[in-house]
Amino acid sequence: MTRHFLRDDDVTPAEQAAILDLAVAMKQDRWGAKPLAGPQSVAVIFDKSSTRTRVSFHVGISDLGGIPLIISTANSQLGGKETPSDTARVLERMVSAIVWRTYGQDGLEEMAAGTTVPVVNALSDDFHPCQLLADLLTIREHRGALAGQTVAFVGDGRSNMAQSYLLACATAGMHVRVAAPDTFDPSPDVVTAAENRAAETGGSVLVVSDPVAAVAGADVVVTDTWVSMGKEDEKLERLRIFEPYRVDDRLMSHAAPDAVFMHCLPADRGYEVTADVIDGPRSIIWDEAENRLHAQKALLAWLLAA
């Protein structure tokens, strides 16, 4: 059966670990694996802007011996003119996988249900699972292990990043905490799914409104923009509501003494994080950005072999 990667818990804990092991191997030998030799093509579709995801998939598919087809919705028949399932049925006749950055998770689900090739979520309103594979790889490199580590996400708890942190870290056996204003709590369904995973892996899940309670003793502190793509109309209100959730030196002082800071980027310095923190010695954001490449190459290779 075709495997898809639409959310972080679409892989089991063992499968997630296998993908990360493959990413480590691919990082060590960047041009050694050519599972897309042929060359096979992969469609990478964008309904929203991107720098990292666009470049890392383009370069990664090329590294794997394949051809990336980078498609903007604005120049395609998607986006109201053709359904995701009809699009998928056409693409599957020509490409080996479909990668899609979009708004609703339902579109991705429709795409996946209608096709025989793997579909990968390159960011939706609800999840950013490719970013989390990169983030887990980065945490593993800097902390030596994932299971047992404590991660605190501070900011928009309903965002794709917060919700992916919950699912991916629980899958990895980590202790994941989210600090968000009550009106921006993660979806209860996602929290339940993360709790179920944590029960399997020995991890834990905590959602609070107090950023200090989330960050206390944490090994990794994470934030993301307060205004995700598609939420621009709410910008002024969000800047007001999220003001107490800025990651600054004072908040970082509550974390473990050797804690690291992460951000998927792009960042708004002075809003969700101060320049002192994101550009300071604890920040590992550039390794995190590079690891998009290695993690996604491993994901594609794994999905094509599954």
Residue 235: what residue type?
K
CA 113 centroid distance within chain: 22
Among 18, 212, 241, 265, interactor with ligand CP by CB under 6 A: 265
Q: Is 96 in the site for ligand CP (CB under 6 A)?
A: no
- Give residue for tokens 């972080």: 8
Q: Is 159 in the site for ligand CP (CB under 6 A)?
A: no
Q: How many CB atoms lie within 10 A of CB 236?
A: 9
**Judged by CB under 6 A, which stretch of 30-38, 51-59, 181-189, 215-223 contacts ligand CP?**
51-59
- Residue from 10, 47, 219, 224 carrying the catalytic annotation: 224
Closer of 127 and 302 to ligand NVA (Cβ): 127
Alpha-carbon distance 142 to 177, whole Å? 19
Among 8, 11, 43, 53, interactor with ligand CP by CB under 6 A: 53
- Cβ(70)–Cβ(76) under 8 Å? no
Q: Least distance to ligand NVA from the beta carbon of 228, Å?
A: 3
Report the first-to-last Cα separation within the chain, whole angstroms.
8
Q: How many CB atoms lie within 10 A of CB 88?
A: 22
- Give residue for tokens 């206390």: 216
Closer of 154 and 295 to ligand CP (Cβ): 295
Alpha-carbon distance 273 to 119, whole Å? 33
For residue 249, with 0-12 CB atoms within 10 Å meaning exposed, 13-18 middle and 19 or more buried, which class applies?
exposed
**Judged by CB under 6 A, which stretch of 32-40, 49-57, 162-170, 214-222 contacts ligand CP?**
49-57
Q: Least distance to ligand CP from the beta carbon of 289, Å?
A: 7
- Residue from 63, 156, 264, 282 carrying the catalytic annotation: 264
Residues 6+ apart with CB under 8 A from 192: none
101 tagged catalytic: yes
Among 50, 163, 228, 291, interactor with ligand CP by CB under 6 A: 50
Contact pattern from residue 224 through residue 263 relative to ligand CP, giving x for each residue in contact according to CB under 6 A and a dash for the rest:
----------------------------------------
Q: Which of 74, 71, 113, 77 is nearest to 95 (CA)?
A: 71
Residue 83: what residue type?
T
Q: Is 192 in the site for ligand CP (CB under 6 A)?
A: no
Q: Is 300 in the site for ligand CP (CB under 6 A)?
A: no
Q: Is 51 in the site for ligand CP (CB under 6 A)?
A: yes
DSSP lists the bridge partners of residue 263 as: 223
Among 97, 264, 299, 304, interactor with ligand CP by CB under 6 A: 264
- The partner in contact with residue 51, picked from ligand CP, ligand NVA, none with C-beta cut-offs of 5 to 8 angstroms by kind, is ligand CP
Q: Please give the residue ranges that form the binding site for ligand NVA (CB under 6 A).
A: 123, 159-161, 224-225, 228-229, 264
Give, for 121, the enclosing helix (H) or strand (E). strand 119-121
Closer of 134 and 191 to ligand CP (Cβ): 134
What number of H helices and E strands is found in the chain?
12, 9
Q: Is 273 in the site for ligand CP (CB under 6 A)?
A: no
Q: Is 12 in the site for ligand CP (CB under 6 A)?
A: no
Q: Is 170 in the site for ligand CP (CB under 6 A)?
A: no
- Cβ(285)–Cβ(262) under 8 Å? yes
Residue 22: what residue type?
L
The residue ranges that bind ligand CP (CB under 6 A) are 50-53, 123, 131, 264-265
Catalytic annotation, residues: 101, 128, 131, 224, 264, 292
